[in-house]
Amino acid sequence: MSQSGIQHARVRRALSLALLTASSWVMPQCIAAPATTAAQTNVPQLSQNALKVADYAVAKYDAAMVQSLTQLVSFNTQAVEGQTPDTNPAFVGFKSSLKQLSQDLGLDYADHGYVVLIGLDANSAVNNESKKLGIVTHGDVQPANPALWAKSPYLLDTQSEPGKLIGRGTEDDKGAIVTAMYAMKAIKDKHIKRDRRIELLVYLAEESDWEPLKTFLASYTPADMNITIDAEYPVVTAEKGWSKITFTVPNITISNIEAKAEASTPPVSGLLSPLNNHYF
């Protein structure tokens, strides 16, 4: 998806949601719903402790998040034919920034070419190394036409529309990466008990090519619990999948179209217009 701006308030909301979701899975005791409420709504309630950590994360890291997002947006990580994340200078710089930020936040970092893994290990006494919580994001962006932008698409613009963070990838999906990393940092700061490793997966060709991901998954064991943070929905716990429709249009002449104009069938363009090719 190629949205250009994100409401600053939504960054905070996304951070809170990401953190709350993560903390409720790494710290099961966070879910402390009264039996009656749970039975009535079937929705777990989050503990005061989890809410406190979320408030802490937003209060402490709001400015740092914007700064980190500025840096990640500065790299034009659009796919370039014939180049890979290890040969395209923008991707090399982007990964270098992710590595530095991981080190600054005390998170582990592993570069697998098209996939970067950023992790926070479990700290529970009943540590099971094989257990992890996955957070799935992507670091590449759609192309942007600078002529259509008030400022450079790769310069985080906080002024053109006050309250919004405008830049290519702020919402899809670099804001999500920053959100997840600072959520992990807040969980670490507060020594939240976690019996699962939290592992942020950053894929680098989501907008262009899913084959390298398939190759990576052949030798990688994904978490059995995953959340996706992408675009306008801040946290998604269960993607509903996607569909791809291929049209075959018969080679008909204009006169044939005119002859059928009286039919009630809408024109092809009318059928196509609601569709787009976005893969989340």
| Positions that interact with Zn ion (CB under 5 A) | 1, 172-173, 230-231
Q: Which one, 157 or 230, has the nearer CB to Zn ion?
A: 230
The least CB distance from residue 19 to Zn ion, in Å, is: 20
Q: Which one, 133 or 136, has the nearer CB to Zn ion?
A: 136
Instruction: List, as own/partner pairs, every contact residues 147-150 make where C-beta atoms lie below 8 angstroms and the sequence separation is at least 24, other chains included.
Output: 149/4
Q: Which one, 3 or 45, has the nearer CB to Zn ion?
A: 3
The least CB distance from residue 204 to Zn ion, in Å, is: 12
Quickly list H helices, the chain: 8-26, 35-41, 48-73, 89-105, 174-189, 211-217, 254-259, 268-272
Q: Which one, 16 or 170, has the nearer CB to Zn ion?
A: 170
Helix axes 174-189, 8-26, angle to 10 degrees: 50
Both tokens of 63, joined, read 């400015």
Angle, vertex CA 20, rays to CA 111 and CA 240, nearest 5: 70
The least CB distance from residue 142 to Zn ion, in Å, is: 9
The least CB distance from residue 22 to Zn ion, in Å, is: 19
Q: Which one, 109 or 280, has the nearer CB to Zn ion?
A: 280
The least CB distance from residue 18 to Zn ion, in Å, is: 15
Is the distance from CB of 97 to CB of 163 less than 8 angstroms?
A: no
Q: Which one, 78 or 124, has the nearer CB to Zn ion?
A: 78
Q: Smallest Cα–Cα separation from 57: which of 170, 180, 158, 195?
A: 180
Burial of 221 (0-12, 13-18, 19+ CB in 10 A): exposed
Q: How far apart are CA 99 and CA 85, in angstroms?
A: 14
